[in-house]
Amino acid sequence: MRPAFSVIFLTTLCGAAQGLLLTLVALEATARFAAGVAVPSAFYVVGAALAVVLGALGLLASFFHLGHPERAWRAIAMWRTSWLSRECIALPAFLSFTTVYGLAHWLGWGDTLAIGLIAAAASIVLFVCTAMIYACLRFLQEWASPLTLVNFTLLGCASGCTLATAYAAWLAPALVVMLAPCACVLTLAGCASRLASLMRNARLKPKSTVQSATGIRHGKVEQNSRGFTASAFNTREFFHGQNAGTLRAIKAGFVTAAFAAPFVLIGAGALAPRSGAAALVLGAAFVIQYVGLIAERWFFFADAAHPQNIYYQRAS
């Protein structure tokens, strides 16, 4: 498939926002029921504000792949059967509950943990809706797997927890020793699940052939034309146009940037003697990880082999 950067930014920005919110709620629950964990209110307020900003930027990015943005409201009409419609409902709900959660901490409203749990539930629902948009497409074998949902969730949680660890170094340095191991574990878990999906996809065999695509029932069919004399929608939108070497480089790059480098930097940041140095190292960990996740999401889309490419991909 041809990756759309608007969708790449939508999924990665919103994923980080959701992971950050889940980190905040998990931390508040720990502080509520475990002794010796003190979290300043400003930590929750800043975290919720960052989650809303990231989610809003993701929502804004989504408009750039719409042919008629003024009709975007119609996307919710098919919520009974469409995961995309459900995502269009779940994302504003997540942003709304996260905003209320931050305001509750800022203004001292009611039971903030109860509000946070509602926002966390909205975050989980959004993860499911976003991942199922792709996992439900059975004809794209690379996506049609439970690993799609697992990867979207773990990668979002990893980047969100890394961000929480980074700004904790400024606002609440004592929390770094608690958050950094969580960020490392989530990064390793995300790496393991993503590598598992890569190995699975490498073993896939196409269910269609050139014979079934063209209707020619001969034992050996060699295609020398892409089916069009000029570019068309089929040749633009369903194939990324990159060679195998580029794909291998991007795969190695995102494994390094999204998983290996952040893991090392998070560990180094947690051991840094000064909070300022820790914040810089942990901030670099989040930035590098996010860049790696952009490459990972690009590869996720490019790795999906649309069946129509059996006929249209050849461009000799």
pLDDT digits (tens, 9 = 90+) for 99-154: 999 999 999 988 999 999 999 999 999 999 999 999 999 989 999 999 999 999 99
Average pLDDT of the segment spanning 85-112: 95
pLDDT digits (tens, 9 = 90+) for 182-227: 999 999 999 999 999 999 999 998 877 777 777 888 878 776 666 5
Give yes or no for residue 281 having a pLDDT over 70: yes
Greater pLDDT, 286 or 309: 286
Q: Report CA torsion sign: 254, 151, 266, 259.
A: negative
Which domains, and CATH codes, for the chain? 5-312 (1.20.1630.10)
How far from each other are the two terminal CA atoms of the chain, in whole angstroms? Answer: 19
Among residues 222, 213, 217, which one has the least CA distance to residue 309? Answer: 213
pLDDT score for 225: 67
Please report, as a single letter, which amino acid is at residue 283: G
Average pLDDT, the chain: 90
pLDDT score for 218: 80
Greater pLDDT, 309 or 45: 45
Quote the tokens at residue 121: 């539930």
